[in-house]
Amino acid sequence: MASKHITMALAGNPNAGKTTIFNQLTGARQKVGNWAGVTVEKKEGVREHKGIQFTVVDLPGIYSLTAYSMEEVVSRDFILKEHPDVVVAVLDASNLERNLYLACQLIELNIRLVFAMNMVDMAKDKGLLIDYEQLARLLGVPIVQTVGTKGIGIEELLDKVREVVEGADSVSRHIHINYGPEIEEEIQTIKGVLKGKTPEFAARYYPRWSAIKLLENDPLVIKELASCPKGDMVLKQAEASRTHIKELFEDEADVIITEARYGFISGALKETVKLSAVAKRDMSYEIDRVLTNRLLGLPILLFFMYLLFQTTFILGEYPKSWIEAGVAFIAGVMGHVLPDGLAKEMIIDGVINGVGGVVVFLPNIVILFMGISLLEDTGYMARAAFLMDRVMHLLGLHGKSFIPFVMGFGCNVSAIMAARTLESRRDRILTILLNPLMSCSARLPVYVLVAGTFFPKHAGNIIFSIYLLGVGIAVLMGRIFSKTIFRGEATPFVMELPPYRMPTFKGLIIHAWDKAKAYLQKMGGVVLVFSVIIWFLGAFPKDVPLSMDYEAAKATLEERLAQSGLSEEDSRAVKEEIANIEQKEAAERLQASYIGRIGQAIEPVIRPLGFDWKLGVSLLTGFVAKEVVVSTMGVLYQAKANEEEDLSGLQAALKKSGMTPVTALAFMAFVLIYVPCMVTIVTIWRETGSLGWAGFAISYLIVLAWIVAFGIQKIGGGIYGFVGG
């Protein structure tokens, strides 16, 4: 039985292998969420080891503990306010210098620390001979060597954490990084005032750390101090000290301090790291010469993107058809088992059709995400960002925004969440606003249907042009936004280029599982609710005047069917007749329902685009999920549209409806642009933290969609008329 409990926080640079270590420590026993009030992911897991229950909190990847980014603030706050028993810093041994910068800042906090020296195998391959014992002694922090991808050192890490918590390890000692006599003097002065005037504050955090932070002009420490009685006296001293340093060195105190930290690191490394003559050739270097090549780089990138999407669709087909069969099976069972009535209707027509229609895409989504994780974990995404930087500048953004845009072609929801990696809020919001223009996979069924009907010989090219249209409009809107609401240069592009690595299978599985869970949660949540609402709007009111007595007509036909002596052909014809009548009734009822009325109410707005009320209603239902557009069209145009192979009925019906190829183009363009599904809208709201941006996104997209569709209708119609088509 677990007699003791230890909380450990995992900190470290992004790309240091922290996530791999976290996965190794906690396996599938982890929980993913958000840090309170911010859109930074929080991961927590548990592990039992030698009778002790470890709670592992994965802090966001950070390079430093200043207060300039949400990730840093979240990490810092957790360490300072939640007081984990130990902080384990995961350091990349092959990249020691920069990784030690964060380590130094952690040392300054005067907390219980353990360093997990990760990727020691790569360091060795690079020819680095590192004396880890000596380094640990110099830093005053025990070092455990690990190779996260192979699971080496994990148990030793847990043992060492326990030792440190129990005070039983011999290496731990608190050291001070010496900043030079002038700065040290100011630190002492500030400490004095701090302890004298604000003893509560001095008791809250390690005074030396607070003093250093004040010299660095740290906004959070300043804010907290300002709210303490007599805190302003300490702040005044800090200001004086900063000015003094500036006069002495002709540079800001925080610059001096940063350089001093690196000086300390440099010294420590000189004593403990030797470069052996025998170093394996740096494979990453060689690979990069090809992948980031001026000429080859972009074509290779396009090839990988192409491969990604092809795999997603082809591999995803198998599990997708199983799920489709499963949903159909459930629908069938429910049809038999449930007593007739409203509940049954709601469950089958609302829940199963609505949620079922979207859940079938789970395999595609999961595979797409695994593909993207693969690209990220191997390190290739950073190269992609480098290659696309110039193109991104056309939109007023930089290379890092490329990743969310690529993901947008799969599903906008995750793409928008991926925008968290952008440091500047401006870049994040702009990327999020433009993202819906990347045609997500859910819109594809609409294109396939419409293009297949009206441009049978050129369907593929037409669909490709729609995608290009989306990209083109994104560039245009990006430029417009950059010159108006989002004026100012895109923040400079700074990004680490990690060495290429083989991702672990375990890691990929965990990624896939996380995404699948999140997707299913959304299905069970928002989509379920809205499916029911839309069903409701379409099913009521029930008492509507119909053009003919459908019940009587059906009864007559069913009687005929029950007659004996009916030939195969005849009985099939009668069955078809019954099906037709049912469809007609359904369509009429839909027209008279709430949603039908809404559709007819908005018809004047869409008529200039060449759309009738049926298309209008279909577009409205696209709010839930874009795939629903097709199924709604199926109901309204009186044809079965549930099987992809059976589109012929719907296609014929569309042609008969009087829709022209020009209108078809306008319709597809409208679907491309108009508004993303409600899950995406909710995500935009959450990620931007403001309903305003979500509202703005909806507004500008609808207006833009209308304008573009109108343009296509008028210009296309003009050309058509001119050519005499």
Please count the residues of this chain forming the interface with other proteins, following the rule CB under 8 A: 39
Q: Which of 389, 396, 421, 393 is nearest to 407 (CA)?
A: 421
535-594 positions binding other proteins, by CB under 8 A: none
Nearest-approach distance from CB 496 to other proteins, in angstroms: 6
Nearest-approach distance from CB 188 to other proteins, in angstroms: 25
Among 20, 30, 64, 118, binds other proteins (CB under 8 A): 64
Residues 606, 648: contact at Cβ < 8 Å? Answer: no
Query: Closer CB to other proteins, residue 402 or residue 667?
Result: 402
Determine the Cα–Cα distance for residues 175 and 9; give it in Å rounded to an integer: 21
- Contact flags string 354-383 toward other proteins, x per CB under 8 A: ----------------------------x-
Residues linked to residue 143 through DSSP beta bridges, in sequence order: 115
Nearest-approach distance from CB 294 to other proteins, in angstroms: 6
Region binding other proteins by CB under 8 A among candidate stretches 137-145, 494-502, 545-553, 589-597: 494-502
95 binds other proteins (CB under 8 A): yes
Among 19, 24, 94, 421, binds other proteins (CB under 8 A): 94
Q: At what angle do helices 18-26 and 154-166 cross, to 10 degrees?
A: 80
3-62 positions binding other proteins, by CB under 8 A: none
Nearest-approach distance from CB 263 to other proteins, in angstroms: 10
3-class secondary structure, 275? strand
Among 77, 496, 577, 612, binds other proteins (CB under 8 A): 496
Among 330, 495, 598, 698, binds other proteins (CB under 8 A): 495
Region binding other proteins by CB under 8 A among candidate stretches 161-169, 348-356, 486-494, 603-611: 486-494
616 binds other proteins (CB under 8 A): no
534 binds other proteins (CB under 8 A): no
Q: Report the side by side order of strands in the sheet with 30-34.
A: 30-34, 41-49, 52-58, 4-12, 86-92, 113-118, 143-145
Other beta carbons within 10 angstroms of residue 188's beta carbon come to: 11
Query: Closer CB to other proteins, residue 169 or residue 423?
Result: 423
Query: Closer CB to other proteins, residue 94 or residue 632?
Result: 94
Q: Which of 366, 364, 381, 372 is nearest to 301 (CA)?
A: 381
DSSP for 31-76, please give it: EEEE-TTSS-EEEEEEEEETTEEEEEEEPPP-S--SSSSHHHHHHH
530 binds other proteins (CB under 8 A): no
Query: Closer CB to other proteins, residue 259 or residue 345?
Result: 259
Question: Which backbone phi and psi does 177 adopt, to 5 degrees?
Answer: -80, 125
Determine the Cα–Cα distance for residues 372 and 406; give it in Å rounded to an integer: 9
Determine the Cα–Cα distance for residues 660 and 639; give it in Å rounded to an integer: 19
Tokens, residue 327: 């949903």
Query: Closer CB to other proteins, residue 13 or residue 414?
Result: 13
Among 183, 214, 385, 671, binds other proteins (CB under 8 A): 385
Contacts of 421 (CB under 8 A, 6+ apart): 400, 403
294-313 positions binding other proteins, by CB under 8 A: 294
Residues 417, 437: contact at Cβ < 8 Å? Answer: no
Query: Closer CB to other proteins, residue 263 or residue 649?
Result: 263
- Contact flags string 398-427 toward other proteins, x per CB under 8 A: xx----------------------------
Residue with tokens 């620390």: 113
Determine the Cα–Cα distance for residues 167 and 163; give it in Å rounded to an integer: 6
Region binding other proteins by CB under 8 A among candidate stretches 303-311, 330-338, 414-422, 492-500: 492-500
Nearest-approach distance from CB 151 to other proteins, in angstroms: 25
Query: Closer CB to other proteins, residue 154 or residue 291?
Result: 291
- In the chain, the amino acid numbered 684 is I
Region binding other proteins by CB under 8 A among candidate stretches 179-187, 325-333, 384-392, 458-466: 384-392
Contacts 24+ apart (CB under 8 A), 173-179: 173/140, 174/107, 174/110, 174/140, 175/107, 175/138, 175/139, 175/140, 176/208, 177/104, 177/107, 177/108, 177/260, 177/261, 177/264, 178/260, 178/264, 179/212, 179/256, 179/257, 179/260
Region binding other proteins by CB under 8 A among candidate stretches 45-53, 365-373, 386-394, 698-706: 386-394
126 binds other proteins (CB under 8 A): yes
Contacts of 86 (CB under 8 A, 6+ apart): 6, 7, 8, 9, 111, 112, 113, 114, 161, 164, 165
394 binds other proteins (CB under 8 A): no
Nearest-approach distance from CB 172 to other proteins, in angstroms: 26
Q: At what angle do helices 253-272 and 231-249 cross, to 10 degrees?
A: 70
242 binds other proteins (CB under 8 A): no
Tokens, residue 186: 């100011």
Query: Closer CB to other proteins, residue 148 or residue 499?
Result: 499
Residues 102, 496: contact at Cβ < 8 Å? Answer: no
Rg of the chain over Cα atoms, rounded to whole angstroms, equals 31
Nearest-approach distance from CB 174 to other proteins, in angstroms: 23
288 binds other proteins (CB under 8 A): yes
Among 1, 277, 337, 494, binds other proteins (CB under 8 A): 494
Among 285, 322, 329, 464, binds other proteins (CB under 8 A): 285
500 binds other proteins (CB under 8 A): no
H or E, element range at 674: none
Determine the Cα–Cα distance for residues 68 and 218; give it in Å rounded to an integer: 9
Nearest-approach distance from CB 292 to other proteins, in angstroms: 5
Nearest-approach distance from CB 436 to other proteins, in angstroms: 26
497 binds other proteins (CB under 8 A): yes
195 binds other proteins (CB under 8 A): no
Determine the Cα–Cα distance for residues 519 and 45; give it in Å rounded to an integer: 21
Other beta carbons within 10 angstroms of residue 51's beta carbon come to: 10
Among 5, 390, 458, 487, binds other proteins (CB under 8 A): 390
Tokens, residue 513: 């599982």
284 binds other proteins (CB under 8 A): yes
Strand-strand pairing, 128-130 and 273-275: antiparallel
Nearest-approach distance from CB 495 to other proteins, in angstroms: 5
Q: Which residues bind other proteins (CB under 8 A)?
A: 63-64, 66, 68, 94-98, 101, 126, 128, 254-255, 258-259, 262, 284-285, 288, 292, 294, 382, 385-386, 389-390, 398-399, 489, 491-499
